[in-house]
Amino acid sequence: MAKGKTTVFFCQSCGYESAKWMGQCPGCRQWNTFVEETVEKTSIRKITKEKAAAGPVCLSSIDMAEEARISTHMGELDRVLGGGIVPGSLVLVGGDPGIGKSTLLLQVCRELSEDGRNVLYISGEESLKQIKLRAARIGSFSDSLRLLCETNLELIRELIRKEKPQTVIIDSIQTMYHEEISSAPGSVSQVREATSVLMQLAKGLGITIFIVGHVTKEGTVAGPRVLEHMVDTVLYFEGDRHASYRILRGVKNRFGSTNEIGVFEMRENGLMEVENPSEYMLEGRPKEASGSVTACSMEGTRPILLEIQALVCHSTLAMPRRTAAGMDYNRVNLLLAVLEKRLNLHLSNSDVYVNIAGGLRISEPAVDLGVVLAVISSYRDKPIDEKVLAFGEVGLSGEVRSVSQAGQRVQEAKKLGFTTIILPQVCREQIGAVEGVQLLGVRTVADAMGLVSGRQKEN
């Protein structure tokens, strides 16, 4: 082996480095993820030297004007980015293959080049012809967008230095390779080196670089943690590949909040923005069906209404089956335990399936009350009025706890025609009366259950 080179083992999932092979990664606890890679010690030294060359500056001498955002003319994307593109930033767009990353970024290229900005799209995955085919579906392009098929990072670096584009797209980071590193493209050391080269280019020349990263089957970008640390912004593009809508979620953002989402729909001619996601999520909601309740979750600054479906049926298994799609499995189990204990619902010999229709993944506890009501409705096989919406967090003793931004949730529900809202009593008192909507405050899940069964009798 050449002098200065050593081999180390990297976890291909989280980038954990080890001198010897291990079966299980101590970092991310996954099995069989270690792969031997050759690393050159000198290249790391070179990078630190280059970085140290720039002298320190004082805060007052930093020009704020540079922070002005560049709009992509796609409102959904701008919001997730925190108000537009920050010049000189490095943005990672991750997602499953075929979800639409290349399409989204080509559309960004189109908008930016229409504004007369110099944009360079570097693809390591597709030929120029394939890109042209995709572009033809999206629309017409200006000549300030230029394309390149290349995977050699040294050549890319030289080209960017020479051409000085304002925005660069790298599709994808897993195909890029550095000649000095002997491991295969897509390995942790290649991905790490490629990202550090791109970061130096972005910061040094003040250009924005979008990096596409594929997600592994475990749901993380290959070599992910390494990548996430290095870039400024991490966006994940997710959604059901068989359904047409796509969700762009901010996971890390040095220039904005991280809980914003952008909703798009994949059409024949590219991605369209969905401006009112609630309407979209509630499309096709069944009427008069038991086990269906509408709830409200805040995604960043926006309230989104969604349908929660539950199916409770008699189980023939010794261990009844429980599934949760779009929600945390343990959270659903916890809520079922609360129902069992506090409301004497005999769920221990029933299979329970909970699903958030539309494929959104919700982590906010504000949907708890919706889940609880959906399970009760399915258990008794009594539909809940479709004009009823419920939100609130459920605690272990069966209490309904307050949630943030209740006012905004109520307004969104009102906008979409809901006439009765079941919410935590504390929120009810904060909001006061809202015209055209009946607000029903509850303190416990038993109160909520009483309300819906009361309403069923009325009907």
Binding mask 438-457 for ligand TYD (x = CB under 6 A): --------------------
First to last CA, the chain: 81
Tell me: does residue 100 bind ligand TYD (CB under 6 A): yes
CA distance 78 to 60: 28
Size of the site for ligand TYD (CB under 6 A): 14
The site partner of 225 among Mg ion, ligand TYD, none (C-beta below 5 to 8 Å per kind) is none
Residue found under tokens 């970024």: 105
Least distance between ligand TYD and beta carbon 241 (Å): 7
Residue with Cβ nearer ligand TYD (138 or 334): 138
DSSP secondary structure letters along 380-419: HT-PPPTTEEE--EE-TTSBEEP-S-HHHHHHHHHHTT--
Residue with Cβ nearer Mg ion (175 or 292): 175
Least distance between ligand TYD and beta carbon 187 (Å): 20
Candidate list 69, 134, 225, 455; residue touching ligand TYD; CB under 6 A: 134
Tell me: does residue 103 bind ligand TYD (CB under 6 A): yes
Closest CA to 224 of 179, 180, 173: 173
Q: Judged by CB under 5 A, which stretch of 101-109, 285-293, 307-315, 322-330 contacts Mg ion?
A: 101-109
DSSP secondary structure letters along 233-280: EEEEEE--TTSSEEEEEEEEETTS-S--EEEEEEETTEEEE-S-HHHH
Q: Judged by CB under 5 A, which stretch of 6-14, 26-34, 102-110, 156-164 contacts Mg ion?
A: 102-110
Least distance between Mg ion and beta carbon 88 (Å): 25
Closest CA to 37 of 236, 209, 183, 202: 183
The site partner of 266 among ligand TYD, Mg ion, none (C-beta below 5 to 8 Å per kind) is ligand TYD
Q: Nearest residue to Mg ion, using CB?
A: 102
Tell me: does residue 97 bind ligand TYD (CB under 6 A): yes
Q: Judged by CB under 6 A, which stretch of 263-271, 324-332, 357-365, 386-394 contacts ligand TYD?
A: 263-271
Least distance between ligand TYD and beta carbon 28 (Å): 24
DSSP secondary structure letters along 187-210: SHHHHHHHHHHHHHHHHHHT-EEE
Q: Judged by CB under 6 A, which stretch of 99-107, 197-205, 215-223, 326-334 contacts ligand TYD?
A: 99-107
CA distance 260 to 76: 9
Binding mask 267-306 for ligand TYD (x = CB under 6 A): -xxx------------------------------------
Q: Judged by CB under 6 A, which stretch of 265-273, 275-283, 397-405, 410-418 contacts ligand TYD?
A: 265-273
Yes or no: say if 335 and 342 are a contact pair by the CB < 8 Å rule: no
- Cis omega (within 30 of 0) on the bond before 172? yes
Yes or no: say if 360 and 240 are a contact pair by the CB < 8 Å rule: no
For residue 387, what are the CA distances in angstroms to 146, 192, 443, 455?
52, 52, 21, 12
Strand order across the 17-18 sheet: 17-18, 5-11, 34-40
Least distance between ligand TYD and beta carbon 231 (Å): 18
The site partner of 345 among ligand TYD, Mg ion, none (C-beta below 5 to 8 Å per kind) is none
Yes or no: say if 237 and 99 are a contact pair by the CB < 8 Å rule: yes
CA distance 450 to 444: 10
CA distance 34 to 12: 6
Tell me: does residue 102 bind Mg ion (CB under 5 A): yes
Q: Where on the phi/psi map is residue 131: left (φ > 0), alpha (ψ -120 to 50), or beta?
A: alpha
Tell me: does residue 101 bind ligand TYD (CB under 6 A): yes
Least distance between ligand TYD and beta carbon 240 (Å): 12
Q: Interface residues with ligand TYD (CB under 6 A)?
A: 95, 97-103, 134, 137, 266, 268-270
Q: Interface residues with Mg ion (CB under 5 A)?
A: 102
